[in-house]
A and B are shown apart, each in its own frame.
Chain A
Amino acid sequence: EAQVTQNPRYLITVTGKKLTVTCSQNMNHEYMSWYRQDPGLGLRQIYYSMNVEVTDKGDVPEGYKVSRKEKRNFPLILESPSPNQTSLYFCASSRGLEGKNIQYFGAGTRLSVL
């Protein structure tokens, strides 16, 4: 089954404690990205990757890092989480680079930073 898998689904942590949210897709997609969803602000892109070892900033990259060492994985790293990073996070992937194709989303990771 084609899918985008995020882990964990729920996470509660404290300020400053480094964490990683994993994302994996089994569709051999080139393009992957991370979004956060906040009430009143909708979904906003954090980072994206157009292929292995190619990543770039989205609209709200501050406080986040990503890596793309393998095509299937695109982890989101919070080196020193802060309460304003409490949000619902989604990973997405799509085939090709031109955006013609449908983006597939993971089930989401709800993060609370205390």
Chain B
Amino acid sequence: KQEVTQIPAALSVPEGENLVLNCSFTDSAIYNLQWFRQDPGKGLTSLLLIQSSQREQTSGRLNASLDKSSGRSTLYIAASQPGDSATYLCAVKKSRETSGSRLTFGEGTQLTVNP
């Protein structure tokens, strides 16, 4: 059974710092990995999706990497801003999933960027 772990559970940084969030998964046979942002009282917003054949994806100040063989992904946030404060979740989709596009989620990293 796939398990997804995110470390750290919470992170507090001063504005302007570069930071890395970590995600690990136990079954390397994944189809893709997706990073989400969750704001309090709101739903999940997809940030980046990496297919299993890809090594990284970039969007603005965000860069997500994937090392499928070692079961790891990182989300790099450059020049962090207070508006980046949120909970960040990673989720993986199994390969050859016969039960639809089920995502297995980590519990998230709660990020606080202090002005």
Q: Which residues of A contact B (CB under 8 A)?
A: 4, 31, 33, 40-45, 48-50, 56, 58-59, 90, 92, 94, 97-108
Q: Which residue of chain A lies nearest to B101 when distances are taken between CB atoms in the complex?
A: A99
Judging by beta carbons under 8 Å apart, are B34 and A103 in contact?
yes
- Complex: how many Å from CA A108 to CA B87? 15
**What B residues does A97 contact at CB under 8 A?**
100-101
Number of interface residues of B (CB under 8 A): 26
Instruction: Give per-residue flags for B29-42: 1 if the beta carbon is below 8 A from chain A beta carbons, else 0.
Output: 00110101000011
Judging by beta carbons under 8 Å apart, are B101 and A42 in contact?
no
- Complex: how many Å from CA A42 to CA B106? 6
Does B66 count as interface, using CB distance less than 8 angstroms? no
Cβ contacts A to B, 15 pairs, < 8 Å: A31-B101, A33-B101, A42-B89, A43-B105, A48-B101, A58-B102, A97-B101, A98-B101, A102-B46, A103-B103, A105-B36, A105-B44, A105-B46, A107-B41, A108-B43
